[in-house]
Structure 1
Amino acid sequence: MPKVAESSDNAVPLTGTYWRLVELAGAKEIKPGPRREPHLILGTGDFKGSSGCNRLFGPVTVDGETVKFGPIAATKMACPDDGGQERRFFEALEGAEAVEIEGTALSLLNAGRVLARFQAQDQPAASE
């Protein structure tokens, strides 16, 4: 498992955890998608997830507290207007430079600024 800045001994692992998107670019109102909720699951060297409509996947590199997603691939399904949430989700992944886990919360950071925050939860049966 990669080393990650964990501020709690009870922090959940970065890899293998279902991370549900709960905050994006400062907005705490996340719109659920028509097919699934926005989320990420990180593996060793790769990730998969959903923007809520389109599935996303690709390589991820974690070294200490630093992280790099991409190139990011995604399906191209026709989606209802989500007010730009999907675009902001991709921008957060592409812009992330660091990760931080506090208990059951995962933050993606750039220059100390939170781009996206996720909450660990049990993986729904119908997810990725």
Structure 2
Amino acid sequence: MHTQRTAVAALALVALAACGTEKGSAGSSTPAEPDVPLTGTGWTVDSVTAGGQVRKAPADAGIAFEKGRVNGSSGCNHLSAPATVRGATLTVGAATSTLIGCPKNLQSYETALRKTLTGKLAVHLSGGKLTLRTQKGDSVTLTRKPAERTPPLVGTAWKVDALTDGASMSTLPPGTAGKARLTFAKDGSVRGNLGCNKVSGMAKVTGSTVTFGPLTTTRMMCKGPAMTLERQLLKVLHGPVRYGIQHHVLTLTAHGGTGIRATA
């Protein structure tokens, strides 16, 4: 009888051990794969391989991973999209982009980048190199940028390069790119150019808010697109505005959600 009880107990222990190691069983201790550390990093795009063709990226093409988003430049247009990392998988949602007309060869690269940098991507990170690969085998290869000092709001010359509205982003009116600039001074003033007329006034910085006082402008008569840009900028540069700086990009967002994107 004693021998029979011992055998039954041994069989029970074997059964319990088997249950504990069964895939998906209760009490499974299989550790989750750690997320690849991309948030807060910036990358230079080396090339895009799509449809068996390798397209080399222009020198100023790059992307940065921020909390919940990927932002960057194709070398012509700026793009932004929601992005999440789970283990070694990056999921990129629908992107918004400026709509600057690009040279034909650059447009081909940009189209390939946008099509490849979307959906679920397998992430391979090795040292300073990053590869993002689609299920079809297309890929984006990138090189880690050296850590950059985030430029301060005050004392930096900011060039306006896009208009924003919530999560969407649009290009500046035709012929106005590179003309609108803002510089915030230590004495609480701001001055710059709205794309045609010069602007100056007060801008008090408190935490993550800039409160613009009355702004004065010169009275030059400008062509249609320049005046359109000026009116759009003045709508944002009024009263309290939320600001944020990621890497070398400044965003100013008014209460209604409209805003400005500028680069240092």
TM-score tier, shorter chain, comes to 0.7 to 0.9
Whichever structure has more helix as a proportion of its residues is 2
Aligned equivalents of 1:76, 1:60: Cα separation in 2: 21
Aligned equivalents of 1:16, 1:81: Cα separation in 2: 31
The answer as to 2:229 corresponding to 1:90 is no
Q: Which residue of 2 aligns with 1:113?
A: 257
Aligned equivalents of 2:239, 2:162: Cα separation in 1: 15
Moved more, 80-89 or 20-29: 20-29
Q: Which residue of 1 aligns with 2:189?
A: 46
The answer as to 2:161 corresponding to 1:22 is yes
Shift of 1:73: 0.4
CA change 1:72–1:89 in 2 (3 A) is same
Aligned equivalents of 2:193, 2:163: Cα separation in 1: 14
The answer as to 2:244 corresponding to 1:80 is no
The unaligned stretches of length 5 or more in structure 1 are 1-6, 121-128
Whether the 8 Å contact between 1:59 and 1:69 is mirrored in structure 2 is: yes
Name the SS of the counterpart of 1:71 in structure 2: strand
Shift of 1:9: 7.2
- Structure-2-length-normalised TM-score: 0.39
Structure number with higher relative contact order (C-alpha < 8 Å, ≥ 6 residues apart): 1
What is the CA RMSD across the aligned residues, in angstroms? 2.6
1:65 is aligned, of 183, 202, 208, to: 208
Shift of 1:112: 8.6
- Structure-1-length-normalised TM-score: 0.76
The unaligned stretches of length 5 or more in structure 2 are 1-66, 68-146
Alignment identity in percent? 29
